[in-house]
Amino acid sequence: MNSIASRFTIKDLENLSGIKAHTIRIWEKRYEILEPKRTDTNIRYYDTENLKKLLNVTLLYKGDHKISKIAKLNDKELNELVKDHLSKGGDDKGYMDSLILSMLNFDQSLFEHTFNRLMAEFSFRHIFIEVFVPLLHKIGIKWQSESITPAHEHFISNLIKQKLQIGIERVQQTVPTNSKSVYVLFLPDNEMHDLGLLYLNYELLINGSQTVFLGSSVPISSLKSLLPIFDSIRFISYFTVRPTPKELETYLKRFKEEILNNSDHSLWVTGKNVIDIQSKHKGVELFNDLGLILNKI
């Protein structure tokens, strides 16, 4: 735990646990669940042990354990009950708390245990969309506010990526059965967040589609080399960092002129930088979320 940011505000605890700040204060006052500390200037903060305990308490509380009974447990009893709760399964929100704990402790064993329990109850699609995507969004917000560090995001995202790559390696051994279009998956220049794109590749392969996965930071000009090879290409991309919303129109216009003009090719884009934006270009579709693309595959 020494590598983790050592001070958290009550707002940080709210964002990471999903428990409202006023509820945390009630638990603190009525049940003495947490023991906040103070800086030299008398500002209240919570250390990593407080955060870890709150996440354990939250996991049990969301699992229908009464807070009055949870509060009576010592640390050893609390940890044992958490392990027992996880071994029996639960809803995906409880599992997210367990994944956050695995991230905070850089605990791969806990991640693997939690993932295996998820796989026993849910489809991989449900796990990715309902657990992993919200988890990564929450983590991204918090490290930007310095509650946790980019190291935590890299740790958990690489573990998730490993699971995706294992799935992709397994399904890409089969011969494609859907030959109507070739799907070319790429990220634009200076865009490195490829988890969403990897997942779309996984879903397309399961669907029997032929895919060409190019990965991150691909210039528009380099996509031209695919045009003489395939008659009908559906390009798919994921805009999280680049192009920014201000750069979007310029990018799409250039893409249409250089890649799509007078052809059967098309472009699908999702990601936070295209949310609530309408495409002005023929052959270009923008999707508010990953699920909308999945529905069209």
Q: For the range 88-96, what are the long-range contacts, defined as Cβ-Cβ under 8 Å and sequence gap of 24 or more?
A: 89/117, 89/120, 89/121, 90/59, 90/62, 90/63, 91/62, 91/63, 92/118, 92/122, 92/126, 92/127, 92/130, 92/131, 93/18, 93/62, 94/59, 94/62, 94/63, 95/131, 96/131, 96/134, 96/135
Any bridge partners for residue 285, and if so which?
Answer: 268
* pLDDT over 90 (residue 177): no
- Compute how many other C-beta atoms are within 10 angstroms of the C-beta atom of residue 179: 10
The amino acid at 28: E
Q: For position 91, what pLDDT does the model report?
A: 56
The dihedral through the CA atoms of 244, 246, 248, 251 has a sign that is: negative
H or E stretch at 77 = helix 75-87
The answer to whether 238 and 209 have CB atoms below 8 angstroms apart is no
Q: Provide mean pLDDT across the span 269-286.
A: 88
pLDDT at 173: 81
Give the pair of three-digit tokens for residue 13.
């605890």
Q: Average pLDDT, whole number, for the chain?
A: 86
Does residue 182 register a pLDDT over 70?
yes
Could you tell me where in the chain the CATH 3.40.50.280 domains are found? Answer: 174-296
Contact between 89 and 117 under an 8 Å Cβ cutoff? The reply is yes
Report the pLDDT value the prediction gives residue 2, as an integer from 0 to 100.
Answer: 37
Distance CA 180, CA 183 (A): 10
Q: Which CATH architecture has domain 10-167?
A: Orthogonal Bundle (1.10)
Specify whether the CB–CB gap between 1 and 52 falls below 8 A: yes
Whole-structure pTM value: 0.72
Q: Which CATH architecture has domain 174-296?
A: 3-Layer(aba) Sandwich (3.40)
Domain with CATH 1.10.1660 in the chain: 10-167
Q: Which of 80, 55, 60 is nearest to 70 (CA)?
A: 60
β-bridge mates for residue 209, sequence order: 178
1 pLDDT band, cuts 50/70/90, is very low
Give the model's pLDDT for residue 3: 41
Name the residue with tokens 């245990």. 113
**What would the pLDDT profile of 186-229 be if each residue is shown by its tens digit?**
999 988 888 889 999 999 998 889 999 999 999 999 999 999 99
Instruction: State yes or no: pLDDT of 95 exceeds 50.
Output: yes
Q: Which two structure tokens, joined as six digits, stand for 23?
A: 């509820």
